[in-house]
Structure 1
Amino acid sequence: MTAIRPLNRVRVLQKQGCSEVNSYSMHWPHLFPQHGPGKKHQRAIVLAGWQEEIVAEHPGLFARGLIHSDGYRGTNRVRRPVGGEDKWYEYPRYLFKNESADILRLCGETLDRLGVAWRHNKPDEISVARRDAVARLDRFVGPKY
């Protein structure tokens, strides 16, 4: 942040499991054009050219950020009636939920880049549930604190 805005103060606060970094400037919106007034699902969310280059170079880190901000990794428990009695099975999966079609598209494109199989299980949600896809995404995402 200091390299981009050398005259602005940067504050770092140590928190449990992370560091919070703050810097205030009227110019941040110029550097992050997807931010703006109104609800994000009602306006276009498009990466600037320099942001696309970074995402193309580091898709795993982008996926990690998406999952840590609007995603979930948990265990799905399923009940199926078999021969008159209920059978249960469970498996790990990722869910990514967002009202913005643009953000969902960015997530899907990033998962494609990483070779992670995914699908829309709801119009506003992406599911990664295949065993090999979950294992592959685990390599990039890591634990969420």
Structure 2
Amino acid sequence: MYDIATRKRTLAMLDDGRSLNSVSKETGISRAAIRSWLTRIEPLPRLNQSAPCSRPADGAAYAYLLGLYLGDGCISEHPRGGHHLRIVCDNGWPGLIEQCRAAVLSVRPTDKVYVVQRQGCVAVTSYGRHWTCLFPQHAPGRKHDRRIALEPWQQEIVDAHPWEFIRGLIHSDGCRITNWTVRNGKRYEYPRYFFTNKSIDITGLFTSALDRMGVQWKQANTHNISIARKESVALMDVHVGPKY
């Protein structure tokens, strides 16, 4: 038998974003017991229960985080209420991971943020009660299998901070590479940006933002957008830049 204090400490670990397996291994308490406490123990205080679901104060951070979410983000329900926001980032880009973590904190400064290591990547994770309000695009199924559209208030933020939105999309599903070609026996190198996403809607949001900022782009194939014009690459370098 476990006392109430032990049960609360164990469930608090779940509220902090830990998995059932990891909590069970650390505490030595069976998963079945912990799972039963989710419904039988008196509820723990809810995170930010009194905080209203309102427009984020830091529009620039939100626009960047929105781009990351549309590319590599998901929201999952917590068994005791609330939701986890997860943004998956490659281990090779520590600067991007830190920018993502900082954006989450700027958008929801009262929620905790965790960087959970996985094989070859990390999941920047935050538990809270407002992520589905902040990202109403959340729904069952893969994003490219359903319609993705911004709410009017989201579009206002993107219009006010288009470069942050573009940067978030590039940091999630884009890259800056150096191409090369040979002319008259000499090798020439030139940079270009690519954005790849299976969702026609998300690609449309990306190209619309590029159009507003005067960036010329081409449809490389069904799912790829290419930015190769010298002037446009220069603009992207100033406002977006390569991952790091």
**Cα offsets for 1:27-72 (capped at 9, x unmatched):** 4223211122111111111111111000000001101101111001
Residue equivalent to 2:139 = 36
Alignment counterpart, residue 112 of structure 1, candidates 176, 187, 211: 211
Measured against aligned partners, the alpha-carbon deviations of 1:69-111 in whole angstroms (never above 9, x if no partner) come to: 100101012346x6xxx65422100000000000110010000
Q: Which 4+ stretches in 1 moved above 6 angstroms?
A: none
Distance 1:36 1:144 in 2: 29
Q: Which runs of 5+ in 2 are unaligned?
A: 1-46, 50-81, 83-90, 102-112, 114-124
Alignment partner of 1:24 is 2:66: no
Q: Give the residue type in structure 2 aligned to 1:95.
A: F
In structure 2, what residue type is equivalent to 1:6? N
Unpaired runs of 5+ residues, structure 1, are 9-14
Distance 1:79 1:122, change over 3 A: farther
More helix by share: 2
* 2:149 equivalent in structure 1: 46
CA contact (8 A) 1:71 1:97 kept: yes
Q: Counterparts of 2:182 and 2:220 in 1: how far apart (Å)? A: 18
- Contact 1:29–1:36 (CA under 8 A) maintained in structure 2: no
Return the alpha-carbon distance in structure 1 between the equivalents of residues 146 and 129 of structure 2: 21
Between structure 1 and structure 2, the one with the greater Rg is 2
Offset at residue 119 of structure 1 (A)? 0.8
Q: Greater share of strand residues, 1 or 2?
A: 1
- Please say if 1:137 is aligned against 2:231: no
Secondary structure, in 3 states, of the residue corresponding to 2:138? coil
What is the 5 A alignment of 1:67-82?
67-79=170-182
Answering whether residue 162 of structure 2 is matched by residue 90 of structure 1, we say no
Percent of matched pairs sharing the same residue: 53
Counterparts in 2 of 1:58-73, with a 5 A limit? 58-73=161-176
SS of the residue 2:128 aligns to: coil
TM-score normalised by L of structure 2: 0.49
Residue in 2 that maps onto 1:11: none
Q: CA RMSD in A?
A: 2.2
3-state SS of the aligned residue for 1:102?
A: helix
Aligned to 1:6: 48
Which residue does the alignment assign to 2:22? none
